Amino acid sequence: MSKTDITKAEGDLYLENLTKSFGDFTAVDDLSLQVPQGSFFALLGPSGCGKTTTLRMVAGLEAPTAGRIRIGDADITYEKPYRRPVNTVFQNYALFPHMDIQENVGFGLKRRGIKDVDAQVADALKLIQLEQVAKRKPTQLSGGQQQRVALARAIVNRPAVLLLDEPLGALDLKLRRQMQLELKRIQTEVGLTFIHVTHDQEEAMTMADTVAVMNNGIIEQMGPPTELYESPRTAFVANFLGQSNLFPAKVSGVDGDNVVLEDSDGRFLMPKNRVADGVNLSSGSSVLVGVRPEKINIGPLDPGQEPPSHGNYVDGVVEAASFLGVSTQYEVRTAGGDAISVFAQNLDVHGLMPVASQVRLTWLPLHGFVLDGHEDINAGVESELVVG
Amino acid sequence: MSTDTATKPPVGVRVRSWFGDNALKFYAVIAFAYLLLPVAYTFVFSFNDAGRTNIVWQGFTLDNWKNPCGAPQVCESVVNSIVLALGVTIMSTILGTLIAFALVRYQFRGRGTTNLTIFLPMATPEVVLGSSLLALFLNIFVPLGFWTVFIAHVMFCISFVVVTVKARLASLDPRLEQAAMDLYANEREAFRRITLPLVAPGIAAAALLAFSLSFDDFIITNFNSGQFTTFPKFVYVSATRGIPAQANVIASAMFFIALALVLVSQIRNMRRKEA
Ligand SMILES: Nc1ncnc2c1ncn2[C@@H]1O[C@H](COP(=O)(O)OP(=O)(O)O)[C@@H](O)[C@H]1O
Ligand SMILES: [Mg+2]
């Protein structure tokens, strides 16, 4: 492969300081990331955060205001869309209505001058298990079938990078779960780099090797799903991926490997390695303490009860309890005034704690995390409602 | 009667409900009769053994149909009209389609003004349009004839073409072209394989509209044609002396040709949907 033949470029995808402005509105702001070749990469963020704009720049349908896009060594920043080894599954599929499924899927191959496309098209249709609809028109297919045809139409070209813009967004929940597995299977089978854009955190976490959480045109945090979930670095990530209890506290000192924190409900210990990068740990500086609801242990408060040995506990009153079968969700108001959610597994240890009863919440130090005190506690919370 | 009322509602109610059930059919039949009566009249009188005036029925003959060019100038004017309409269709369809693309796809200075002025010829009374054009041609000393009529027709047909094509183009999802470009089609291929086929029905409709508008026009033509005679003008002029039965033949033939075209396209559409 000659280094100048961009249409055959391969390797990791690099976005370097990519910026896109529409007038004085910056949709994508100095965004940099690397997507390893062959990985399943998810770009996760709420509606309007710049995901589609980012994809369109990679596809060549939008010219960046600044920054570079590379595949391996090849700079494709200003390359025409039809010269890039990149294909897109559009948000609304964009199947060609005047062509049948076979012609749709074979379109890209034919444009690249491949004469006999039938075998490859048949293979692609087999991959998505839709051989039987080859001669139908797109409007004669269901939403899920159209979605798979759009996928086949892109995959058949074996691009270096496949872009999927909320490909499952229009499907109902059941079909979406099914297609998630399907997509994952296909990606593993063909081994292409997938960049999957979604606003559904569950979808991103189940499917992707790496998730980049995007907000307001920037990447908030990037990493494997477990890392993002267990060690969020910003309040937005903590709230957008799953749920978090966040409450403000002050650093009162450092004790060996632990940081000692104080809030209206008392003192907490946090291992230093649970503190997000760049958080000021000097005494008196304010931070946010975070604990996931399922990591909190809840029990009735007995008079004279000893505090746990690690010292991380708060006492409070149950304000609401909803029994969900596998678990019970509690809303607890602490003595210091914070509201804390708790998911208690139904182990039948304590029975159901009624509303207005006194409870004690405890958690292991390594189950919490510490964020910068300037973070907005409610960042990313509203977006939770979008998740299906 | 008494046994009847036991099983059936009273006569008054039955009559009324019969009317209720059939009012729409009844109305449709009357409306169609009203529309088709002149056509039927024209058709019937194309078989009239008329001689000089074709107003009173004088007996059945096939002569008019056997020899449609029998009356002076009839066929000459029909040929004129067809040539004119074809030329106007080609010219206005090309220009109008290009304008429509420019208006929908590009931002440029004067786009809003263009959008507005495109509507003017459709909104202006034909008499005003015809007389103004005549004044213009006379002022700049253009001799009246085929070309002045051609220019006048292209002028008002363009508006209809632009509006028709624009509507089709506006409903075309721009992401389809982007998808094509994403799938290795360059600009020209994306236009040829995606845009054009999808807009084609709109362009075809616009062309048909332009043809019939041009073929049919009398007022503007009459102002700007000088010695040049189209079929509508011929009919109008001969009305003072008596329209020859051959005119009925031509008119009927045109009606049936148009009808046949519509039927054929309907049947093809139905077949395509079934397939
Ligand atoms: N062509 C455009 N002109 C102006 N603003 C745009 C354009 N495209 C996108 N935007 C804006 O950029 C922001 C990001 O849009 P988009 O990338 O589509 O978000 P997402 O796909 O994450 O929902 C939105 O606020 C949107 O209004
Ligand atoms: Mg989007």
Sort out which chain A residues have CB atoms less than 8 A from B181's CB and list them.
Answer: 60-61, 80-82
How far is Cα A262 from Cα A266, in angstroms, rounded to an integer?
Answer: 6
**Within this chain, do residues B67 and B78 fall inside the same structural domain, yes or no?**
no
How far is Cα A245 from Cα A331, in angstroms, rounded to an integer?
Answer: 11
The shortest CB-CB distance from A94 to any of B179, B193, B197 is to B179
Length of chain B measured in residues: 275
CA-nearest residue to B179 within chain A is: A94
Give the pLDDT score at B6.
Answer: 57
Give the pLDDT score at B1.
Answer: 45
ipTM for the predicted complex = 0.82
How far is Cα A276 from Cα A156, in angstroms, rounded to an integer?
Answer: 43
Task: Give distance in angstroms: CA of A196 to centre of ligand 2.
Answer: 11
For residue B140, give its domain range. Answer: 73-243
**Within this chain, do residues B256 and B159 fall inside the same structural domain, yes or no?**
no
How far is Cα A302 from Cα B212, in angstroms, rounded to an integer?
Answer: 94
CA-nearest residue to A7 within chain B is: B184
For residue A28, list its beta bridge partners. A20
> pLDDT tens-digit profile of A252-266?
988 888 899 998 888
How far is Cα A315 from Cα A336, in angstroms, rounded to an integer?
Answer: 9
**Within this chain, do residues B238 and B261 fall inside the same structural domain, yes or no?**
no
Give the pLDDT score at B275.
Answer: 61
A216, containing H or E segment: none
Distance between B171 CA and the closest CA of chain A, angstroms = 13
How far is Cα A297 from Cα A153, in angstroms, rounded to an integer?
Answer: 50
**Within this chain, do residues B211 and B108 fall inside the same structural domain, yes or no?**
yes
Q: Which residue, by CA, sits nearest to atom 5 of ligand 1?
A: A22
Residue A49 near ligand 1, beta carbon < 6 Å: yes
Amino acid at B170: A
Number of domains in chain B: 2
**Within this chain, do residues B100 and B224 fall inside the same structural domain, yes or no?**
yes
A66, containing H or E segment: strand A66-71
CA dihedral of residues A112, A118, A120, A123 (deg, nearest 10): 150
**Within this chain, do residues B144 and B169 fall inside the same structural domain, yes or no?**
yes
Return the axis-axis angle of helices A173-190 and A118-127, rounded to nearest 10°.
130
**Within this chain, do residues B58 and B109 fall inside the same structural domain, yes or no?**
no
**Within this chain, do residues B128 and B16 fall inside the same structural domain, yes or no?**
no
Tell me if chain B has a CB within 8 Å of the CB of A61.
Answer: yes
Looking at the CA of A50, name the nearest ligand: 1
Which residue of A24, A29, A52 sits with most ligand 1 atoms within 8 Å of its CB, as the best mutation to test the pocket?
Answer: A52
Chain A contact probe: residue of B107, B182, B194, B274 with most A CBs at under 10 A? B182
3-state secondary structure chain B: CHHHHHHCCCHHHHHHHHHHHHHHHHHHHHHHHHHHHHHHHHHHHCCECCCCCCCCCCCECCHHHHCCCCCCCHHHHHHHHHHHHHHHHHHHHHHHHHHHHHHHHCCCCCHHHHHHHHHHHHHCCHHHHHHHHHHHHHHCCCCCCHHHHHHHHHHHHHHHHHHHHHHHHHCCCHHHHHHHHHCCCCHHHHHHHHHHHHHHHHHHHHHHHHHHHHHHCCHHHHHHCCCCCCHHHHHHHHHCCCCCHHHHHHHHHHHHHHHHHHHHHHHHHHHHHHC
Nearest Cα to Cα of residue B152 among B168, B172, B173, B132: B132
User: Following DSSP, what letter does each residue of A319-357 receive, concatenated?
Assistant: EEEEE-SSEEEEEEEETTS-EEEEEEE---SS-PPPTT-
Question: Where does A107-256 show beta strands of DSSP type E?
Answer: 161-165, 193-198, 210-215, 218-223, 245-255
**Within this chain, do residues B82 and B174 fall inside the same structural domain, yes or no?**
yes
Domains annotated for chain A, with CATH where assigned, are: 6-230 (3.40.50.300), 235-385 (2.40.50.140)
Looking at the CA of A65, name the nearest ligand: 1
Task: Give distance in angstroms: CA of B264 to centre of ligand 1.
Answer: 47
What ligand 1 atom has the least distance to the C-alpha of A56?
Answer: 17
Looking at the CA of A26, name the nearest ligand: 1
Supply the CATH number for residue B134's domain: 1.10.3720.10
> pLDDT tens-digit profile of A330-371?
999 998 888 999 999 888 777 788 999 999 999 999 999 999
**Within this chain, do residues B97 and B196 fall inside the same structural domain, yes or no?**
yes
Sort out which chain A residues have CB atoms less than 8 A from B179's CB and list them.
Answer: 88, 90, 94-96
Residue A386 near ligand 1, beta carbon < 6 Å: no
Looking at the CA of A167, name the nearest ligand: 2
3-class DSSP state of A132: helix
Query: How does strand A161-165 pair with strand A193-198?
Result: parallel
How far is Cα A80 from Cα A75, in angstroms, rounded to an integer?
Answer: 12
**Within this chain, do residues B113 and B34 fall inside the same structural domain, yes or no?**
no
Residue A58 near ligand 1, beta carbon < 6 Å: no
**Within this chain, do residues B161 and B268 fall inside the same structural domain, yes or no?**
no
Residue A310, judged by CB atoms within 10 A of its CB (0-12, 13-18, 19+), counts as middle
Asked if A88 lies within 8 A of B182 by C-beta distance, the reply is yes
Sort out which chain A residues have CB atoms less than 8 A from B173's CB and list them.
Answer: 92, 94
The shortest CB-CB distance from A98 to any of B173, B175, B198 is to B198
Give the pLDDT score at B225.
Answer: 93
Residue A47 near ligand 1, beta carbon < 6 Å: yes
Contact A147, A133 (CB under 8 A): no
Instruction: Tell me A166's DSSP state.
Output: S
Residue-level pLDDT, tens digit, chain A, 388 residues: 444 577 778 889 999 999 999 999 999 999 999 999 999 999 999 999 999 999 999 999 999 999 999 999 999 999 999 999 999 999 889 999 999 999 999 999 999 999 889 999 999 999 888 999 999 999 999 988 999 999 999 999 999 999 999 998 888 888 888 889 988 988 998 889 999 999 999 999 999 999 999 999 999 999 999 999 999 999 999 999 989 999 899 999 888 888 999 988 888 888 989 998 888 888 889 999 999 999 999 989 888 788 887 778 899 999 999 988 888 999 999 988 889 999 998 887 777 889 999 999 999 999 999 999 888 888 888 644 444 3
Tell me if chain A has a CB within 8 Å of the CB of B179.
Answer: yes
> pLDDT tens-digit profile of A94-115?
999 999 999 999 999 999 999 8
How far is Cα A195 from Cα A13, in angstroms, rounded to an integer?
Answer: 10
For residue A254, list its beta bridge partners. A259
How far is Cα B232 from Cα B215, in angstroms, rounded to an integer?
Answer: 8
Length of chain A measured in residues: 388
Residue-level pLDDT, tens digit, chain B, 275 residues: 445 545 777 888 888 887 778 888 889 999 999 999 999 999 999 998 877 778 888 888 888 888 888 888 888 999 999 999 999 999 999 999 999 999 998 888 999 999 899 989 999 999 999 999 999 999 999 999 999 999 999 999 999 999 999 999 999 999 999 999 999 999 999 999 999 999 999 999 999 999 999 999 999 999 999 999 999 999 898 888 888 888 889 999 999 998 999 999 899 988 877 76
Chain B contact probe: residue of A56, A87, A93, A98 with most B CBs at under 10 A? A98
Global pTM value = 0.80
How far is Cα A275 from Cα B123, in angstroms, rounded to an integer?
Answer: 72
Q: Which residue, by CA, sits nearest to atom 2 of ligand 1?
A: A22
**Ion ligand 2 residues within 5 Å by Cβ:** A 52
